[in-house]
Amino acid sequence: MALLLVLAALVVGLSAATIAAQAATTAMVSQRVDRRQALVDDAALALGPALEAWLAQRSATVVLDPAANAPMVEVLRESCTLELDREPCTIDIAVLAFDQRGMVPWEDAVRGDGLAAALPPTVARRFSDDGRASVAPGLDLVAARSRSEAFDIPVWPTVVRGSSQGEETPLGLGVAAFVATHGRGVAVVNVNTAPEGVVRAAEAMLGRSVWEVVREQRAIGKPAPVGAFSFEGDGRPAEGADASAARLPRFVASSDLWSFAVEVRCEGARSAWWVTYDRSGAGWRVLQRVRVVE
């Protein structure tokens, strides 16, 4: 009987020790996860000066291939290894820039007129007749709505390549790559970044051809001569047009409105943001910063 009591006490003691060890391990793992999340959040926010430097030094000279299907350029893609809790932690950083002056304006997408003819079918369905009344004026609100409904295309662009059944996920896929949320008013088209469909839709509205000149220049990496086909009347409403009529677009050679898709990862921890800047005077200012949770 005494031996049985000793064995029972030993089992209870071991069980208690095991539970305590598991609890301690869980706490350590939780703390490590928290520290990794704090690390990637800090790294993402610390990229601000790098984004502003790119805007000041590079944005005005961006010329995309004429075959580009979105006004997107890769700004940064780096990996580095740091020590976290005395163990190596690999951090992956990716930043894509999107020219909102190379996109379809929000108003056109919602109304289904103007430059909306250039939208990919999967994006246009997000702004279809059935959904226009409920489409909120902001990608973050559209993303919130998307979580309860099924759509063919996500709201936010893909920043880090992934694979689905062995196929690469195209970078830039997402509503945010095609529909501009800022710069309300005159539809402005940057001929050096806008996809062919956007430029041709503007051509149709203005009644003149510019794409062939744009295509030839962009094919050799040179900016198109906007002065040759930008006229004083561009950007003004058509004569007799009411408030709901399509606005005439205006061509430009560089953009004053850019968004960045930023993503930082470290061993499962992820910090992703959509940050929009506009040019204000001699510098750039943040208009919007949204955490991406899709």
Looking at 104-183, list the stretches that DSSP marks H as alpha helix, in order from N- to C-terminal side: 106-111, 121-124, 139-146
- Coil vs helix vs strand at 234: coil
Predicted pLDDT at 98: 97
Q: Which of 195, 171, 174 is nearest to 69 (CA)?
A: 195
Question: Does the pLDDT at position 199 exceed 60?
Answer: yes
Rounded percentage of the chain residues whose pLDDT exceeds 90: 49
For 133-149, what is each residue's pLDDT tens digit? 556 668 887 877 766 56
Looking at mean pLDDT, say which of 12-26, 37-51, 119-133 comes out highest.
37-51
Binned at pLDDT 50, 70 and 90, residue 31 comes out as: low
Residues in the chain: 294
Rg (CA), the chain: 25
Predicted pLDDT at 22: 45
Predicted pLDDT at 173: 82
Binned at pLDDT 50, 70 and 90, residue 204 comes out as: very high
Q: Of 12 and 178, which is predicted with more confidence?
A: 178
- Residue 273 tokens, joined: 């943001």
- The gap between the terminal CA atoms of the chain, to the nearest Å, is 61
Predicted pLDDT at 134: 58
Cβ-contact 195, 203 below 8 angstroms: no
Mean pLDDT score, 73-88: 83
Predicted pLDDT at 33: 64
Mean pLDDT score, 172-181: 90
- Residue 39 tokens, joined: 């690390």
Rounded Cα–Cα distance for residues 191 and 196 (Å): 9
